Each structure stands twice: as structure tokens, then as C-alpha cells.
Structure 1
Amino acid sequence: MKLIRQELLSGERALFNSNDLEIVDTTFEEGESPLKESTNIILKDSVFKWKYPLWYCDVIKVSNTALLETARSGIWYTNKIEINDSIIDAPKTFRRSNDIVLNNVLLTNADETLWNCKDIKLNKVNAKGNYFGMNSKDVYVDNLQLSGDYAFDGVSNIEVHNSKLLSKDAFWNCENVKVYNSVIIGEYLGWNSKNVTFVNCTIESLQGLCYIENLVLENCKILNSELLFEYTTANAEVITVIDSVKNPSGGIIQAKGIDELILDDTKIDVSKTTFVLEETA
């Protein structure tokens, strides 16, 4: 493997179509697509300052490296990439890429990041930006701190652990969602989704958990949340009092209590939902 150390590289496609490189302490200055169509690249302690640094690449390992804001749309159509202990200050990173691993990565400007990707593993990731993870598949998340609306819209097969999401309209249009030991705060959680499970979670969501087919809640807290479960089929075990429930489609809703229960028999078949409340149990 050829070593490139402490270089200052500029110009379009500076290392285009490279193979078997270890790049250390190197800065990529102005110039698009410096490593486009490259394979088997190790990057350490380096900086990208311009657009499209890693397009159409395969087998990339990155550590202690920075993508500045101007390195936008940085990693598209790339397969098998691992990034460790790094900072990405650029939006629209990762698009139509596969086999992505991020460990201890800070994404300060994560708008439209991780779109249409597959086989994603996120561990100790801190991200701020809207439309994070849209239309991606086969996602495993542990210890994600995310601030940004419309997170994981259209995702299928996602498992989330030990995370905190501040996100309006999270998990819309999804299928096969499992969230464990996490906090989710934001309006309209989970609409138009199928097979959604929350276990040991804390949820705050105005008009959340509506229009869901097969919602499961196990040992969850729901706080400061109104008009829940509208047109949702649910098997819900809630260990707090729910502020209000409106027109669920069916299932069992178990809670310490429900302050306001809205059931309109012109909209739903009221008999299809069973309520088990602590004060009457």
C-alpha cells in the first residue's frame, strides 16, 4: 500500500481512480472529486475542503478526519465505508451508498444526510439537521443524539437503542421500526407507518402515534402528549397517565389513566379497542 503523508493537494480529481493508498496528515484543498472512483483507501488525520471527495468509491476507512462545510455532498454511490472519531460539517453526506459504519462521529450540519442508503451502523453519533436518514434500509443505531425534524422518513428495517431524538415527524412512512431505551420528543411521531415498536422509551408527541398499523408499546412513558393513537391499531403498555386518546382503530391500550378519551362511533368501530386503566383494573 502506497503512503501519502503531509501533502497539500488541490485541483479537480487530485487522486482520481486511486487504489491501495494510505493517506495521512493530508489536506485536500479546492478541487472537486479528489478521490472519485478509488478503492481500498485508508485516510487518517486529514481534511477535505471541497465538494464530492468520495464518490463511487469502495472499501474506505477513515479516522480522525474532517469534512468541512464546503465538502458538501461528500460521499455518494460509495460502498463499504467506515468512519471513526471524525467530524463532518457538510450537508448531504451519504447518498445511495451501502455498508456504512460510523463510530464516534459528529455531524454538525446533517441536513439531507444518509438518504437512500442501505446497511448502516451508527454508534455514538451526534447529528444536527433535518431529513436525516430518509428512505434508507437496514439501519442499526446505538447512542444517537439527533436534533432535526423529519428524521428517518420512509425507512425500513431500523433498530434504535439508547438514543435521544428531538425530531418533529420522526419515523413517518416507515416499516419495521424497533426503538429501545430511548427518548423521542417531537410532534406527529410515526404517522403512516407499519410494524412500529417502542420498548422502555419516553415519548412526548402532540398528535403522535397516529395512522399506524401494528403499533406496540412496552413499558413506555408518554408525557405531555395529546390526541394520540388516531386510526392506529395498538398493543400499548403505557406506565404513565395519557393526556388524551382519539379514535384508535383497534387493539389494547393499557395506562395508569387517560385524562380525555375521544371516541366517535361515526369514524371508528369503538368495540375494536380495549382500554385497561389502573384505576379500574
Structure 2
Amino acid sequence: MKEINQKVFEGERALFKAHDLNIKNSTFQNGESPLKHSKNLNIEHNIFKWKYPLWYSNDVQVSRSTLKLEAHAGIWYTKNLKMDDVMIEATKTFRHISHSELTNITMSNAAETLWWCNDIKLDHITARGDYFGKNCENVVVDHLKLSGNYAFDGSKNIEVHNSKFETHDAFWNCENVTVYDSTLVGEYLAWNSKHIRFVNCWIESDQGLCYVDDLTLENCSLVNTDLAFEYCTDVNADINTTIDSVKNPINGVISAPAIGEVIIDDPDIDKSAVKINVRRQTA
């Protein structure tokens, strides 16, 4: 590979269709789309200061680099991307990317980031911003710290481990989501979704977990959560804390040490289809 070291690039499409390059210690100044349609690049210790740096690219590795605030909408329609130890200050950074791995990334302004992306691995990511992960498919997440609302709206086939979410309306309109060993704080969790599973999770969600088809919770804490499970089907909930209140689940089994209130006030609900197991009575 040809090496480019300690260069400053300016102007639109500075390295258009670049390929087989090792780019080190360089800065991309003003000028849109500097690496558009590039392939087979190794980018290390670079700074991107303007819009659309990596569009329609393939086989790109980026490490120890920075995307500044003005590097808006930075990486779209790119395949086979690997990023490690990167700081991203810009919004809307990833869209329509596929078969990619993001590791040790900090995104301080991650609004509308990671949309319509497929076959993605996220490992040790810190992000702040609304609408992170919209309409994605086949995503594996480990050690994500996310602060921002509407996370993963409309996504499918999502697997999450060891993560922390501070977000309301997370996992809305989703299908096939499993979350392990994670903390989720924010109201209205996982509404209007299908095939949702939480394992060993700590959840605080006002009116959370409603309108879900096929909902499973295994050994989960459900704290400060009221009116849970409204119009949920096929519920299998094993909760290890007191549930404040349960309202109108359609069918399934809900087990907890105590439940403050069970509300079945919809005449169309068949009470016999819902089994409530209270392991000790409320004092």
C-alpha cells in the first residue's frame, strides 16, 4: 500500500476514488467528500473537519482518529468498515453501512446516527443523542452507554449485552430483540414490538413494556414501573422485585415477589388467560 503521511487536504473530493492507501497523521480540511468511492484504506491518526468524508467506500479501517463537528453525515453507504478508538463529534454519522465493526467509539453528538444499517457489531460505545440506531437489522451490541431518546426505533434482530440505556421510547416498533445483563432507564420501553426478551436486566420504565407480542423477562428487576404489560400477548415475566402495577395483559404468566396492584378493567380481557404468581403477599 502507498503511504500518505502528515498531509493537509483541502477542496472537494480531495482523494476521490482513492484505493490501497495507508493515510497517517493527516488532516482533511474544508472540502466535501474527500474519500468518496474509496476502497482498501488504512486511516490512522487523522482528523476530518468537513462533511461526508467516507461515502460509498469499501474495506476501510479507521483508528485513533477524530471526526469534528463539521464532519456531518460522515459515513454513509459504506461496507466492510472497521473503526477503533475514534472520537466523533458530528451528527448523522452512520447511515446505510453494512458488515462493519465499531469499537471504542465516543459519539458526543450522536443524534440520528446509525440509521438503516445492517450486520453491525458495536463494542464499547459511548453515545449521546436521540434516535440512535433507527431501522437497523442484525446488530450485536456489547458495552454500549447510550443517553438519548427513541433508541433503535424500528430495528430487527438486535442482541445487546452489558449495556446502559438512559432513553425513553427505546426499542419501539422492533422485532427480535434480546437484551442481556443491562440497565434500562426511561418510560414507555419497547411499545408496539414483537419477540422481545430481557435477561438479568434492571429496568425502570413508567408504563413500560406495553403493546408487545411475545414478551419475555428472565430474572429481571422492574423498579418504579407502573401500568406494565398493557395489552401484551404471550408474556413470560420472572421479576425479582415488586412490580408497582400491572394492567390488562392479554395472556401469559407474570411472577414477582409482590405486585402493588393488578388492574383488569377491560371487559374483553379473558382473566383466565393471565396467570399472576405472587411469591409473597404485599404487606
Query: Shorter-normalised TM-score: what interval?
Result: over 0.9
Q: Partners of 2:88 and 2:264 in 1: how far apart?
A: 48
Q: Residue 197 of structure 1 contacts residue 217 of structure 1 at CA under 8 Å; is this kept in 2?
A: yes
Equivalent residue for 2:175? 175
Structure 2 residue aligned with 1:146: 146
Aligned residue number for residue 197 of structure 1: 197
In the TM superposition, residue 261 of structure 1 has moved relative to its aligned partner by 1.0
Structure 1 position 269, deviation (Å): 1.5
Which stretch of the first structure deviates more once superposed, 94-103 or 144-153?
94-103
Q: Deviations over 1:75-106 (max 9, x none)?
A: 00100101001101100011111012111110
Q: CA deviation at 1:240?
A: 0.5
Alignment gaps of 5+ in structure 2: none
Residues 1:8 and 2:8 aligned together: yes
Aligned to 1:217: 217
In structure 2, the residue matched to 1:261 is: 262
- Offset, 1:123: 0.5
Matched residue SS, 1:3: strand
Aligned to 1:163: 163
Q: Identity, % of aligned pairs?
A: 54
State the TM-score, normalizing by the size of structure 1.
0.99
Please name the residue that 2:131 is paired with: 131
Matches within 5 A, 1:29-178: 29-178=29-178
Distance 1:89 1:268 in 2: 49
What's 1:18 paired with?
18
- The TM-score with structure 2 as length reference comes to 0.98
Please tell me whether the aligned partners of residues 129 and 148 of structure 1 are also in contact (alpha carbons under 8 angstroms): yes
The separation in 1 between residues aligned to 2:216 and 2:69, in whole angstroms, is 40
Q: Quick one: which amino acid aligns to residue 50 of structure 2? A: W
Render the CA deviation track for 1:34-66: whole Å, top value 9, x for unaligned: 000000011000100000000000000000000
Deviation at 1:265? 4.0
Distance 2:176 2:102 in 1: 22
Q: Deviations over 1:150-180 (max 9, x none)?
A: 0000110000000000010000000000000
Q: Deviation at 1:264?
A: 1.5
Q: What is the identity, as a one-letter code, of the residue corresponding to 1:176?
A: N
Q: Secondary structure of the equivalent of 2:95?
A: coil
C-alpha distance in 1 between matches for 2:190 and 2:36: 37
Local SS of the residue matching 1:209: coil
For residue 240 of structure 1, what is the aligned residue in structure 2? 241
Structure 1: which 5+ runs fail to align? Answer: none
Task: Name which of structure 1's ranges 162-171 and 91-100 shifts more when overlaid on structure 2.
Answer: 91-100
* SS state at 1:64 partner: strand
Task: Output the amino acid matched with 1:263.
Answer: I
Matched-pair contact (CA < 8 Å) for 1:247–1:267: no
SS of residue matched to 1:271: helix
Looking at structure 2, the residues matched to 243 and 108 of structure 1 have their Cα atoms a distance apart, in angstroms, of: 35
In 2 relative to 1, CA 271–265 (structure 1 residues): closer, same or farther, beyond 3 Å?
farther
Q: Distance in 2 between matches of 1:111 and 1:269?
A: 43
The aligned amino acid for 2:250 is S
Give 1:279's aligned amino acid. R
Instruction: Name 2:187's counterpart in structure 1.
Output: 187
Deviation of residue 116 (structure 1)? 0.3
Q: Deviations over 1:98-142 (max 9, x none)?
A: 012111110111000000010110000000000000000000000
Deviates more, 1:263-272 or 1:2-11: 263-272
Following superposition, the deviation at residue 267 of structure 1 comes to 3.9
SS in structure 1 of the partner of residue 272 of structure 2:
helix
| CA–CA distance in structure 2, aligned partners of residues 44 and 276 of structure 1 | 57
Instruction: State the 4+ residue runs in structure 1 displaced beyond 6 angstroms.
Output: none
SS at match of 1:65: strand
AA of the residue aligned to 1:228: A
